[in-house]
């Protein structure tokens, strides 16, 4: 009897080898990684020159993360996520952390440096030249890569022996002499790590130079410029006592003590010295918002108008946009494409252009609004008329967006739903109120909340149209059309002594208010999901 043969099961097919990438792609990849490493080294070097040594760790971490993720075939998801994570940390998380940190300080135009730097500036600004004082050949510079208009001023000082040193508000430091180029008189024309300013750039910073001097190592004098090419080392009338932590004016004998980030007269008579320093103040800025009678009263007034402006903007733009969408959704209307194209034109024009145009049209003397209506209303000069002008302008800016989203939402509603309502005897209004509106709000509800949050911080419209005004009397800190965001901007960048710490605290309060309102709104929109 023949023996039955036993066949073995077929072996699985060999997996396909992954295709090899072309050589040019490998070259581009490694060249890009090399460029990123080179850029990281350049940034690290710049940070060292500018005194930001701590940030080198962060730069190194980012560069190493890029190398680890993109130099191997692993970490496929991270190859797509890493760029977004870096941008998220740099453009979103870091500004938020910096704002929160600033809100707990007294940081402002008058309190922007450290206590040591403020003391050095105070002493240096009191320097006067005495007979026989040492003189230097002077070149005025900024660190290499810094903006000549805002970079830290540096004196490149050449002494009688031809040695060049650098002087800043922190004092005099030795620099590498190799690579320094000088004229026959000793004036520095180029130095490694610095950008020497020309006469035009120096003149543009004359205000900074008037209050700038380099403190001497003994802390009892300073070096100030005489014109553009010479500097002298003089004596200071202000003397700092490190043991007592006081500053004394040797001319008058008045003693100053540190108080609230300023050198304040010990006897309480007179004003504090001009230059203050940045320090932690805890919850003082938040306390000021809610306890200072001027700020508290203005804050409540602005907040009420802020909520009304955002709510009315959303309601009016939504109603107009929805009505136009309903009208053009009717199958009997012809030329829908032309009408829709015309209706979205205001949305296509940049908002700042529209705001400036409407500001001109609301002009009392030659504005188009008064000319067409025959009125003589000072639209931007009265509190209520300015608010009405803002709402009208924002209606023009916002209704095309609502028209677009409502048109899309209406076209997604099945036609048999309307037919069923018509068979059940519902009229047009009942169909709109009980069928179309609930279904429409399912789609546009979250967008309405987002629109409210946007208008709550609609800085550009207020700033360009009214500037926050009109203002009542001599009070220029709080305007009739101010939003909280424009109020925070005025605190931070306007006035004699802008207060960035207080403005940051106001920004955090705005964020908390918007977040609370948005959270409540999103919780309510979840009820609409049951309709869907």
Q: Is the peptide bond before 470 cis (omega within 30 degrees of 0)?
A: yes
Residue from 146, 55, 162 nearest 154 by CA: 146
pLDDT at 365 over 60: yes
**Separation CA 82–CA 143 (nearest Å):** 32
Which residue bears the tokens 């919780």? 523
3-state secondary structure at position 197: coil
Burial of 153 from C-beta contacts in 10 A (0-12 / 13-18 / 19+): buried
pLDDT at 476 over 90: no
pLDDT at 523 over 60: yes
3-state secondary structure at position 269: coil
226 phi/psi in degrees, rounded to 5: -125, 100
pLDDT of residue 474: 67
Strand partners, 194: 143, 191
Q: Which residues of 38-76 are buried (b: 16+ CB within 10 A; e: fewer)?
A: eebeebbebbeeeeeeeeeeebeebbeebeebbeeeeee
| Residues 271-300, mean pLDDT to the nearest whole number | 88
**Separation CA 221–CA 124 (nearest Å):** 6
| Residues 426-452, mean pLDDT to the nearest whole number | 87
| Residues 103-120, mean pLDDT to the nearest whole number | 90
pLDDT range class, residue 1, cuts 50, 70, 90: very low
| Residues 196-204, mean pLDDT to the nearest whole number | 91
Percent of the chain residues topping a pLDDT of 70? 93
Kindly report which listed range (94-108, 156-170, 232-246, 420-434) carries the lowest average pLDDT score: 420-434
pLDDT in tens, 64-97: 999 999 988 888 899 999 999 999 988 899 999 9
| Cβ contact 236:224 at 8 Å | no
The alpha helices in 271-382, defined as continuous H runs, are: 284-291, 293-328, 336-343, 345-348, 351-361, 368-373
| Cβ contact 175:199 at 8 Å | no
């Amino acid at each position: 009897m023949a023996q039955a043969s036993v066949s073995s099961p077929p072996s699985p097919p060999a997996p396909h080898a992954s295709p090899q990438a072309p050589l040019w792609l490998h070259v581009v990849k490694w060249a890009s990684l090399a460029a990123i490493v080179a850029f990281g080294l350049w940034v690290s070097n710049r940070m060292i020159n500018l005194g930001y040594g701590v940030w080198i760790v962060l730069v190194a971490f980012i560069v190493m993360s890029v190398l680890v993720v993109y130099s191997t075939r692993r970490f496929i998801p991270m190859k797509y996520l890493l760029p977004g994570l870096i941008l998220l940390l740099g453009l979103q998380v870091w500004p938020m952390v910096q704002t929160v940190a600033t809100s707990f300080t007294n940081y402002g135009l008058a309190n922007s440096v450290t206590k040591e730097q403020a003391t050095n500036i105070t002493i240096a600004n009191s320097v006067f030249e005495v007979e026989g004082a040492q003189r230097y050949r002077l070149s005025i510079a900024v660190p290499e890569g810094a903006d000549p208009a805002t970079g830290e001023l540096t004196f490149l000082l050449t002494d009688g022996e031809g040695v060049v040193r650098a002087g800043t508000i922190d004092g005099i430091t030795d620099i590498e002499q190799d690579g320094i180029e000088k004229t026959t008189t000793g004036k520095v024309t180029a130095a490694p790590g610095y950008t020497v300013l020309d006469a035009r750039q120096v003149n543009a910073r004359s205000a900074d130079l008037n209050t700038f001097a380099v403190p001497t190592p003994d802390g009892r004098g300073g070096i100030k410029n005489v014109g553009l090419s010479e500097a002298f080392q003089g004596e200071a009338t202000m003397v700092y006592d490190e043991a007592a932590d006081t500053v004394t004016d040797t001319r008058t004998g008045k003693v100053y003590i540190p108080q609230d980030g300023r050198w304040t007269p010990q006897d309480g008579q007179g004003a504090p010295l001009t230059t203050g320093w940045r320090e932690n103040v805890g919850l003082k800025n938040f306390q000021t918002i809610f306890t200072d009678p001027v700020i508290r009263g203005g804050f409540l007034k602005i907040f009420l108008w802020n909520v009304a402006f955002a709510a009315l903007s959303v309601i009016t733009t939504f109603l107009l946009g929805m009505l136009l969408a309903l009208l053009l959704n009717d199958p009997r209307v012809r030329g829908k494409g032309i009408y829709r194209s015309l209706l979205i034109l205001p949305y296509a024009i940049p908002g700042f252009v529209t705001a400036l145009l409407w500001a001109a049209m609301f002009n009392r003397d030659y504005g188009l609004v008064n000319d067409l209506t025959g009125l003589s209303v000072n639209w931007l000069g009265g509190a209520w008329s300015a608010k009405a002008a803002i709402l009208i302008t924002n209606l023009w800016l916002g209704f095309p967006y609502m028209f677009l989203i409502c048109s899309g939402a209406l076209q997604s509603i099945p036609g048999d739903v309307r037919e069923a309502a018509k068979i059940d005897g519902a009229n047009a209004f009942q169909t709109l109120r009980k069928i179309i509106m609930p279904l429409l709000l399912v789609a546009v509800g979250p967008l309405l909340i987002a629109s409210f949050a946007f208008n709550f911080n609609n800085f550009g419209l207020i700033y360009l149209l009214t500037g926050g005004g009109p203002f009542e009397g001599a009070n220029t800190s709080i305007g009739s059309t101010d939003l909280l965001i424009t109020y925070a901007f005025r605190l931070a960048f306007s006035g004699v002594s802008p207060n960035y710490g207080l403005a940051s605290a106001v920004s955090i309060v705005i964020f908390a208010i918007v977040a609370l309102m948005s959270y409540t709104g999103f919780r309510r929109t979840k009820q609409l999901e049951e309709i869907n």
